[in-house]
Chains A and B, each alone.
Chain A
Amino acid sequence: MGSRRKWIQLAVLAALIIVLPFFFPSSYYYRVGALIFVNALAVVGMVILIGYAGQISLGHAGFAGIGAYACALAPEYLGLHPGLALILGAVTSGVLALLIGRPILRLKGYYLGVATLGFGILVSMVLTNERALTGGPDGMSVADPGLRGMLRDLGWRLSVGELWYGVSAIALLIGAWVALNLFDSPTGRAMRALHGSEVAASTVGVDVARQKLRAFVISALYASVSGSLLALQNGFITPDVAGFMHSIEMVTMAVLGGVGSVLGGTLGAAILTTLPQVLTIFAEYEQLVLGAVMILVMIFLPQGLLPSIARRFRGRDE
């Protein structure tokens, strides 16, 4: 992928982010948009882990949980500003990913799956059980980072929805930019080499363990920041954010949209985030439809939505 392609992708993303609000009939749509971007940020991390490096994780919601609760706990107990708490959460997630990554990433396939699953469950269990600290399953409030007030002082009046639409969009753009740069970097190429074949990658001199660990830590950072942003915009957080279903959701969004592609992952996040909103009229059938969509996409577009569609278009061009 040349650097032109990278900028085209970023431009498409930015254009969508800017143009879409002109079609929003109410500020509720900003909320949905913000959720899409926050989910997409975590999914871009999964694209790096699964799509670039070929590793699976069924426990990344654990990192999202750490990011989210950092933003809830640090302001309350350490008096830290919520914005700094986000960084603290990311550092914690990164260090933790570094520590557990080395032994865990020696495992392959489903064994890696169950190990990461175990990690995610441990995090959500601590958040659920340490009620005195975290409020337990009922959750806890997250302090307002005061961004709205700050912007108001600068003469910029934004609604809650608009504010978080903007913040999440910027976070996603930065995340996408980093991921796209990584793709073309020597590190990215090394990661992608081990996706193809670890044996082959190691024979051409790729430090397999190190590249896997890198992808794991980077994706953990993405998940953590995504969790933090979710906590900050919701103002309230429960252990669900670290739950198994959230981990599965991340993987599904990534795979559905196209696991090797940043834009594809974003598309996957957009579809799975809006689906429940679109299906409210048939709420009873929501799970039925969601399951069917997942199956049908994987049967007919096994590479995920975006890459499959792109391939079809390219095929026509040539």
Chain B
Amino acid sequence: MKFTSSTAVIALMAAAMPFAAQAEIRLGASVSATGPAAFLGDPEAKTIEMMVEEINASGGINGEQIALTLYDDGGDPNKARTFATRLVEDDEVVAIIGGSTTGTTMSILDVAQEEGIPFISLAGAISIIDPVREYVFKTPHTDRMACEKIFADMQARDISRIGLISGTDGFGASMQAECKEVAGDSGIEIVADETYGPQDADMTPQLTRIRNTGDVQAVLNAGFGQGPAIVTRNYAQLGFEIPLYQSHGVASNAFIDLVGAEAAEGVRLPGTALLIADQLSEDDPQYQVTTDYTALYRAKYSDEPSTFAGYAHDAVLLMADAIARAGSTDPDDIRDALEATSGFVGTTGTYTFSPEDHLGLDLSAFRMLEINDGDWTQLD
């Protein structure tokens, strides 16, 4: 089975070769379009495909078309490593985008580092870019930055004692650890620390425990997927009167729909400009990129792009920009050009990479949002 299919593919490729020879840039991607992280990976996969089509439709990069090979690693780090190997060895790509979760990213970055292929990750953990690895970049904010942004807002409201409730999935656990690490520096004391499983149906016991901890002034929920929606609904059910903060993991309109406007009222979270593209003023630096992308995504998939989809959008454009500036398809040239990226405006923020910084975003890229009457209000 394996052989017949690979021979067929080789035959196809051979047939296509004379026309495509040289005039194509091989871009690889491995995202978690299915499995437990499909919530992240599905819109990412859609975005990568759409943006590559867009670039090709407008003449490609330096006159060359992008040939995209996209794999679905199902959120399994083992599969991600196999696909990364396949992208490099078999598909001979010059750059890789992907790694929806930290686990899959770590698997891919090993291969990228070993083979010297530039790789832009779509996952949150700070460990991806700290310490800096030569060939590894990433577009999302780190979880630590989300914690800092939230804590700054809490401080402005004179909140210092908080309860933390996190999902036990990769996203929740990573943010939980990061928040605990930076809480002290931000003048925040985490007095209750609870968790829930990613598929749990009711979190009232954990929330009750937090409430009974005594003078808790706010609750922060680190997680993505269904957990935060259920936490928010349970929060309303229990009649909490202190503020609830969510993470950037749920920064999407779907979250408000799932929770219901009533229960979501007053919830605050750090989000990106993409989420409030419709509200941005025309002189906002991110106005153009977010409205363009949102319009494209809506037209193609009749759905709203999520923050995660925005990470993928930025990754594709950053890579395309680097390839264009490098003027070559040599992985090392692309890497060097990528590292020289400066003032690149994406949906997530404005990226400036350097040899010491392979994320290139600062806290200003985050915008503190509050849900009011079922819509987002920008606070800062």
Report which A residues bind B (CB closer than 8 A): 23, 25-29, 31-32, 35, 128-129, 131, 136-139, 141, 160-161, 230, 234-238, 240-241, 271, 274, 276-278, 280-281, 283, 286-287
Residue on B with the closest CB to A136? B173
A contact residues around B102 at 8 Å (CB): 138-139
B contact residues around A129 at 8 Å (CB): 168, 195
Interface pick from B106-114, B274-282, B324-332: B106-114
Q: Complex Cα distance A276/B5, Å?
A: 12
Report which B residues bind A (CB closer than 8 A): 1-3, 5-6, 9-10, 33-34, 71-72, 74, 76-79, 81-83, 85-86, 88-90, 101-103, 106-107, 110, 114, 125, 127, 168-170, 173-174, 177, 195
Decide if B1 touches A160 in the complex (CB within 8 Å). Answer: no
Q: Complex Cα distance A121/B173, Å?
A: 18
Decide if B2 touches A137 in the complex (CB within 8 Å). Answer: no
Residue on B with the closest CB to A128? B168
A contact residues around B195 at 8 Å (CB): 129
A contact residues around B72 at 8 Å (CB): 280, 283, 286
How many whole Å from A169's CB to the nearest CB in chain B? 17
Decide if A236 touches B82 in the complex (CB within 8 Å). Answer: no
Main secondary structure of the interface of A (DSSP, over half): helix
Decide if B168 touches A277 in the complex (CB within 8 Å). Answer: no
A contact residues around B76 at 8 Å (CB): 240
Q: Complex Cα distance A160/B79, Å?
A: 16
Q: Complex Cα distance A230/B71, Å?
A: 21
Task: Give the contacting residue for A234; candidates B3, B77, B168, B177; CB below 8 A.
Answer: B77
Residue among B2, B76, B86 having the largest count of chain A Cβ atoms under 10 Å: B2
- Knowing A28-B90, A283-B71, the reply to whether A238 touches B77 (Cβ < 8 A) is yes
Decide if A137 touches B89 in the complex (CB within 8 Å). Answer: no
Decide if A138 touches B106 in the complex (CB within 8 Å). Answer: yes
Decide if B86 touches A277 in the complex (CB within 8 Å). Answer: yes
B contact residues around A137 at 8 Å (CB): 103, 168-170, 173-174
Decide if A230 touches B168 in the complex (CB within 8 Å). Answer: no
Decide if B177 touches A131 in the complex (CB within 8 Å). Answer: yes
- Knowing A25-B6, A138-B102, the reply to whether A31 touches B82 (Cβ < 8 A) is yes
Residue contacts A-B, CB under 8 angstroms, 26 given: A25-B6, A28-B85, A28-B88, A31-B81, A35-B78, A128-B173, A129-B168, A131-B177, A137-B169, A137-B173, A138-B101, A138-B127, A138-B170, A139-B77, A139-B102, A234-B77, A236-B110, A238-B103, A240-B76, A240-B77, A276-B74, A277-B2, A277-B86, A278-B2, A283-B34, A287-B34
Decide if B85 touches A236 in the complex (CB within 8 Å). Answer: no
Q: Complex Cα distance A278/B81, Å?
A: 16
A contact residues around B86 at 8 Å (CB): 28, 31, 277
Task: Give the contacting residue for B174; candidates A136, A238, A278, A283; CB below 8 A.
Answer: A136
Residue on B with the closest CB to A139? B103
Decide if B77 touches A32 in the complex (CB within 8 Å). Answer: no
Residue among A28, A230, A278 having the largest count of chain B Cβ atoms under 10 Å: A28
Decide if B90 touches A274 in the complex (CB within 8 Å). Answer: no
Decide if A23 touches B106 in the complex (CB within 8 Å). Answer: no
Decide if A274 touches B2 in the complex (CB within 8 Å). Answer: yes
Q: Complex Cα distance A6/B195, Å?
A: 52
Residue on A with the closest CB to B72? A283
Decide if B174 touches A138 in the complex (CB within 8 Å). Answer: yes
B contact residues around A274 at 8 Å (CB): 1-2
